């Protein structure tokens, strides 16, 4: 009886089959679940990937920002160099224009001075010629008859000499300003000549 019980216990009964079936189902269930266990780790991997992508994106954005800043700096430098070159060019043009205007003004002033000096010189020479002509005329005696004649007596008497001296004095009084100018000019010419001689002596 016990042997039969044992045999029955060893024979595949419904309970055993069910038990084994349940075990098999449990095993199959475990096998189905086990491969999907990493599902619990997927959020960490996703976070890691997102973090990595974020870091890569941040690096890329930073690189673009650095590149943009570098380009802006380069553009500003180019603009600054161009502006500096433009300012230098404008400064040179203004300086050149100023020099040209000064040269024109100096030339006009020089021409004006030369023209004025020429006119004064011509007037001075004309006055000198007139003075000499009147001195020559005052050095002669004049007749009281008409037409008036001038002559130099063969023998100059004291009376005639007094008349001639008086005539010459009147001419000198008339041209006193001219005579002063002549004297001043002669003194200036003598001073210039003396200075030139002194410079030549020093150079030698």
Q: How confident is the model at residue 8 (pLDDT cuts 50, 70, 90)?
A: very low
Q: Pick the residue with more confidence: 10 or 82?
A: 82
pLDDT tens figures, 177-187: 888 887 777 66
Lowest mean pLDDT among 33-47, 91-105, 183-197: 33-47
Average pLDDT of the chain? 74
Q: Which domain holds residue 154?
A: 91-188
Q: How many structural domains comprise the chain?
A: 1
pLDDT at 92 over 70: yes
In a domain, 96, yes or no: yes
pLDDT of residue 73: 81
pLDDT at 31 over 90: no
In a domain, 167, yes or no: yes
187 prior amide bond cis, ω within 30: no
In a domain, 44, yes or no: no
**β-strand 150-151 against 141-142: which pairing, if any?**
antiparallel
Q: Pick the residue with more confidence: 47 or 40?
A: 47
pLDDT at 154 over 80: yes
pTM of the prediction? 0.41
Q: What helix, strand, coil percent values describe the chain, rounded to 5? A: 90, 0, 10
Q: What span, in angstroms and rounded, lies between the C-alpha atoms of 191 and 111?
A: 26
In a domain, 133, yes or no: yes
Helix axes 42-138, 158-174, angle to 10 degrees: 160
In a domain, 154, yes or no: yes
In a domain, 105, yes or no: yes
Q: What span, in angstroms and rounded, lies between the C-alpha atoms of 101 and 53?
A: 70
Q: What span, in angstroms and rounded, lies between the C-alpha atoms of 126 and 195?
A: 29
Q: Pick the residue with more confidence: 105 or 82?
A: 105
In a domain, 75, yes or no: no
How many Cβ atoms sit within 10 Å of the Cβ of residue 90?
10
| Closest CA relative to residue 168, chosen from 144, 132, 139, 131 | 139
3-state secondary structure of 127: helix
In a domain, 200, yes or no: no
Average pLDDT estimate for 8-14? 50
Helix and strand numbers, DSSP H then E, in the chain: 5, 2
E-strand ranges in the chain read 141-142, 150-151
How many Cβ atoms sit within 10 Å of the Cβ of residue 175?
19
| Greatest mean pLDDT among 13-22, 91-100, 181-190 | 91-100
Q: What is the percentage of the chain residues whose pLDDT exceeds 70?
A: 68
């Amino acid at each position: 009886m016990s042997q039969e019980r044992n045999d029955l216990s060893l024979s595949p009964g419904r309970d055993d089959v069910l038990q084994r079936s349940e075990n098999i189902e449990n095993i199959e269930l475990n096998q189905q679940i086990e491969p999907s266990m990493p599902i619990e780790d997927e959020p960490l991997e996703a976070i890691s990937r997102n973090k990595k992508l974020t870091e890569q994106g941040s690096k890329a954005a930073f690189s673009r920002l650095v590149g943009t800043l570098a380009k802006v700096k380069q553009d500003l430098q180019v603009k600054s160099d161009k502006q500096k070159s433009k300012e230098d060019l404008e400064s040179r043009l203004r300086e050149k224009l100023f020099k040209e205007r000064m040269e024109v003004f100096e030339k006009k002033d020089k021409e004006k001075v030369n023209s004025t000096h020429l006119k004064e010189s011509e007037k001075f020479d004309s006055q000198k010629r007139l003075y000499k002509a009147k001195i020559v005329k005052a050095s002669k005696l004049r007749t009281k008859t008409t037409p008036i004649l001038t002559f130099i007596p063969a023998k100059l008497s004291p009376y005639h000499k007094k008349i001639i001296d008086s005539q010459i004095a009147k001419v000198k009084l008339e041209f006193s300003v001219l005579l002063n100018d002549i004297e001043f000019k002669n003194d200036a010419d003598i001073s210039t000549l003396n200075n030139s001689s002194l410079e030549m002596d020093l150079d030698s």
